[in-house]
């Protein structure tokens, strides 16, 4: 067997595999001999069928199967030994084979991975946000806690500070749902006026469009599907069941213990400090994700290299479950090119900086995730055995292993970017962060 490669250019090559009769003949003869021993052909006793008849009936199929096995095994071995970094899979140059000859030649197109360098130390610094919980946010959180743990006081009629419980119905749409909300959640003074002064038992006809400040609140109020709620414009009946005012809870030791455990917090000052600490832990995750996204975008935009686009487009025609037309494949390539570029950049960074993800990394990450989930349900100190047992079950699922592995890679790259990228730090409140990153919130 002979394998040769012709490099068309830096990104494309053709591999030719020549298979001679001596490469496959002994194997084919053995298989046909075994067939002859077991062949059940009318007119002949088992084991006494003439070899010529066996070859006529099975010869081409056996030859084709064995040649294709040899082809795949040796092509894969060649690619591995030559350390060729290819994109996609080799594409065979299609030709009709009659399987009448002794020697066969096959050609495969290869798309080669480009060579490039990644510069993390960009001229323009990338912003790393330090999000702080300001006094306004902390005070609002204290108010929310006081309301949440406060006492309900019944009211005769709806006032601006009322908490209203009632049932939304629309028979035609199959809507019937009991929901509790405050007038702060209702959008606009026109809607608000419909509630002010109403009493228990009153029925209000309401338009769903523009009823709540947040459409997701409307989804909760009506218990409809997420896709249906956006732009929903129907009338609903709302029957008021209860009207209450929530008296704020006292900021005392009983409340502190209920929130954080006995004597963890002992004053309003400590309460605010704890709220600030917990909030800023959450903000770190959001700031890190924003930084990771920004570095990713920067690297894709500023790391220049060519791709074997024509080859990849052809490969995409046959790579999926469904055969694509050339136009469909071009469209698919355009959609996935950015992702492919980042995958190559990511691989280059991992290799150049000797970053590896092994099973112990994945297992440790799984245990951290399990530990946090258990803490949410009040299990603060699980044993190592508990964590190992649960992690073993999680990691028996290959989809979970893949997902956690990707998270570990992201964490390693994030640490690398923090260490080596050209960054500047910007400190701002969460509200200002949301405005700067996502635009003015309505």
Per the CB < 8 A criterion, the answer to whether 163 and 152 are in contact is yes
pLDDT, mean over the chain:
92
Please give the DSSP secondary-structure letter assigned to residue 127.
E
β-strand pairing of 162-170 with 235-247: antiparallel
Q: Which pair of tokens denotes residue 276?
A: 């600030």
Per the CB < 8 A criterion, the answer to whether 306 and 87 are in contact is no
Q: Which of 411, 404, 299, 305 is nearest to 355 (CA)?
A: 411
Ordered by where they begin, the domains of the chain are: 2-112 (3.30.70.1050), 151-247 (3.10.50), 279-438 (no CATH)
Q: Phi then psi for 166, rounded to 5 degrees?
A: -165, -175
β-strand pairing of 423-429 with 126-132: parallel
Per the CB < 8 A criterion, the answer to whether 170 and 237 are in contact is yes
What's the pLDDT score for residue 377?
A: 79
Q: How far apart are CA 356 and CA 358, in angstroms?
A: 6
Strands (E) across 149-269 are located at 151-154, 162-170, 175-182, 203-207, 235-247
Lowest mean pLDDT among 66-75, 271-280, 298-307, 381-390: 381-390
Residue 441 scores a pLDDT above 60: no
User: Which residues, listed in sequence order, are joined to residue 86 by a DSSP beta bridge?
Assistant: 112
Enclosing H/E stretch for 128: strand 126-132
Residue 48 scores a pLDDT above 80: no
Residue 161 scores a pLDDT above 50: yes
Q: Mean pLDDT throughout 274-278?
A: 94
Residue 327 scores a pLDDT above 70: yes
Burial class (CB in 10 A: 0-12, 13-18, 19+), 418: middle
Per the CB < 8 A criterion, the answer to whether 244 and 153 are in contact is yes
Residue 35 scores a pLDDT above 80: yes
- Per-residue model confidence as pLDDT tens digits over 358-414: 999 999 999 999 998 888 777 778 888 999 999 999 999 999 999 999 999 999 999
Q: How far apart are CA 209 and CA 236, in angstroms?
A: 11
Residues in the chain: 442
Lowest mean pLDDT among 42-51, 94-103, 164-173, 185-194: 42-51
Q: Mean pLDDT throughout 236-247?
A: 94
What's the pLDDT score for residue 261?
A: 86
What's the pLDDT score for residue 230?
A: 82
What's the pLDDT score for residue 442?
A: 42
Q: How far apart are CA 18 and CA 325, in angstroms?
A: 31
Q: Mean pLDDT throughout 334-346?
A: 95
In the structure, what pLDDT confidence band is assigned to residue 440 with cuts at 50, 70 and 90? low
What's the pLDDT score for residue 83?
A: 92
Q: Mean pLDDT throughout 315-338?
A: 92
Please give the DSSP secondary-structure letter assigned to residue 11.
S
Higher-scoring residue by pLDDT: 440, 240: 240
Q: How far apart are CA 1 and CA 66, in angstroms?
A: 14
CB atoms under 10 Å from CB of 162, counted, come to 21
Q: The whole model's pTM is what?
A: 0.73
What's the pLDDT score for residue 54?
A: 85
Q: Mean pLDDT throughout 280-305?
A: 94
Enclosing H/E stretch for 255: helix 253-260
Q: Which pair of tokens denotes residue 341?
A: 């570029």
């Amino acid at each position: 067997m002979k394998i040769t490669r012709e490099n068309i250019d830096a990104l494309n090559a053709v591999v030719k595999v020549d298979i001679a009769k001596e490469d496959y003949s002994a194997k084919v003869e053995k298989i046909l001999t075994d067939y002859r021993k077991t062949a059940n052909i009318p007119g002949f006793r088992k084991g006494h069928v003439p070899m010529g008849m066996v070859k006529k009936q099975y010869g081409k199929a056996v030859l084709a199967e064995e040649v294709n096995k040899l082809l795949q095994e040796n092509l894969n071995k060649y690619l591995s030994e030559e350390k060729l970094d290819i994109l996609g899979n080799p594409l065979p140059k299609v030709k009709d084979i009659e399987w009448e000859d002794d020697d066969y030649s096959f050609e495969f197109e290869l798309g080669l991975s480009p060579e490039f360098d990644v510069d993390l130390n960009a001229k323009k610094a990338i912003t790393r946000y330090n999000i702080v919980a300001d006094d306004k946010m902390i005070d609002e959180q204290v108010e929310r806690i006081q309301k949440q743990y406060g006492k309900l006081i019944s009211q005769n009629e709806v006032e601006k500070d009322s908490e209203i419980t009632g049932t939304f119905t629309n028979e035609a749409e199959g809507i019937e749902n009991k929901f509790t909300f405050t007038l702060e959640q209702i959008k606009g003074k026109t809607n608000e006026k419909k509630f002010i002064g109403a009493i228990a038992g009153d029925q209000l006809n309401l338009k769903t469009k523009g009823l709540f400040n947040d459409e997701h609140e409307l989804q909760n109020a009506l218990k409809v599907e997420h896709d249906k709620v956006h732009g929903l414009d129907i009338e609903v009946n709302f029957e008021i069941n209860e009207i209450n005012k929530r008296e704020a809870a006292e900021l005392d030791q009983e409340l502190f213990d209920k929130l954080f455990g006995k004597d963890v917090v002992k004053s309003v000052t400590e309460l605010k400090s704890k709220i600030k600490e917990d909030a800023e832990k959450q903000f770190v995750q959001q700031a890190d994700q924003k930084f990771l996204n920004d570095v990713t975008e920067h690297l894709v935009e500023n790391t220049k290299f060519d791709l074997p686009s024509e080859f990849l487009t052809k490969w995409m025609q046959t790579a999926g479950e469904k055969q694509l037309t050339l136009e469909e494949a071009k469209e698919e390539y355009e959609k996935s090119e950015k992702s492919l570029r980042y995958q190559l950049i990511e691989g280059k960074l991992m290799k150049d900086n000797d970053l590896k993800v092994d099973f112990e990394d994945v297992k440790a990450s799984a245990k951290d995730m399990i530990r946090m989930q258990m803490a949410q349900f009040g299990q603060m100190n699980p044993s190592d055995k508990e964590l190992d047992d649960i992690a073993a079950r999680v990691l028996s699922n290959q989809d979970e292993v893949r997902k956690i592995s990707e998270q570990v890679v992201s964490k390693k790259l994030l640490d690398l970017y923090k260490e080596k990228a050209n960054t500047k730090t910007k400190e701002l409140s969460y509200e200002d962060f949301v405005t700067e990153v996502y635009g003015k919130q309505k």
